[in-house]
Amino acid sequence: MADTKVWFITGASSGFGRSMTELLLNKGDNVIATLRNPDALLDLSAQFPSSQLLVIQLDVTNSAGVSAAFAKAKEAFGRIDVVFNNAGQSVMGELESASEEESRAMFEVNFWGAMHVSKEAVKFFREVNQPIGGRLLQVSSRLGLLGGAAAAFYSASKFALEGLSESLAKELDPAWNIKITIIEPGPFRTNIFKDNLRLAPQHPAYANPSLPGSQYRQFVALDNIDGDADKAVVAIEKLTHLDDVPMRLPLHRRVVVGAREKIKSLTEDVNKFESWSEDLYH
């Protein structure tokens, strides 16, 4: 098929990564699926030929491992059209509740790991692909756009990823034909609420059930997540067929509402205090 794409996916064991891998394989695309535990994809490896699915053990915090995975992808397929930079972890809890050690480890995955993948993706798109170019899809979060109670460190890791991605997009030479989009999902039923969620014991000072942090904990406990990850990846895959791609893709009604509220609040602050920036210059 002339329109068959080659995808490189991180965090392919479950959640968006697993859903995207299944979607692409079933539509005939080729996939390099990377994950910490390759056994999680044994069923797909048995179902699809090695000429279509390459499974690679990868910890994105290991920069040499990331480079090696891209080298294996080059050897197997000769090109990569789309990188789905999806691997992530979640440490939740108020700033005074969450463990600094666990939060730093999360940053290693959510920011530094994603940075390793971003760096290799750009190099591959520019120096390996013929014709030159590619799509880099950065999986952020609603909490990469909006700060949230009981999510200070997780939100910070995603804000950092968004800042890196937006800056990277501005650095690229248009001649390289590399397009970047930040995906900002809301609450979807993925492994982020299961295997990869660490909810820290609550600091007693925040135990008031009316506080937003307590309400978020209740939201997680009730497990009434309404987003369907399989439907989300169908929407995300559509991006790769657009010539004019957005910098950000808010993906869930809660994200859309939150984005509009933030735009409104920011605009009000700018307008209210614009005059403070006058008369500050030599």
Could you list the active site residues?
Answer: 140, 154, 158
The label of the residue with tokens 């690679």 reads 56
Closest CA to 86 of 137, 139, 163: 139
Cross-strand bridge partners of residue 85: 138
Helix (H, G, I), strand (E, B) or coil at 244: coil
Q: Give the CA angle between residues 114, 120, 121 to the nearest 5°.
A: 85
- Structural contact between residues 40 and 15, judged by C-beta atoms closer than 8 angstroms: no
The label of the residue with tokens 């950000």 reads 248
Mention every residue, 6+ apart, whose C-beta is less than 8 A from residue 125: 80, 132, 133, 134, 136, 176, 177, 178
Mention every residue, 6+ apart, whose C-beta is less than 8 A from residue 53: 21, 25, 30, 31, 33, 41, 44, 45
Question: Where do runs of H (alpha helix) occur along 78-151?
Answer: 100-107, 114-127
- Structural contact between residues 231 and 237, judged by C-beta atoms closer than 8 angstroms: no
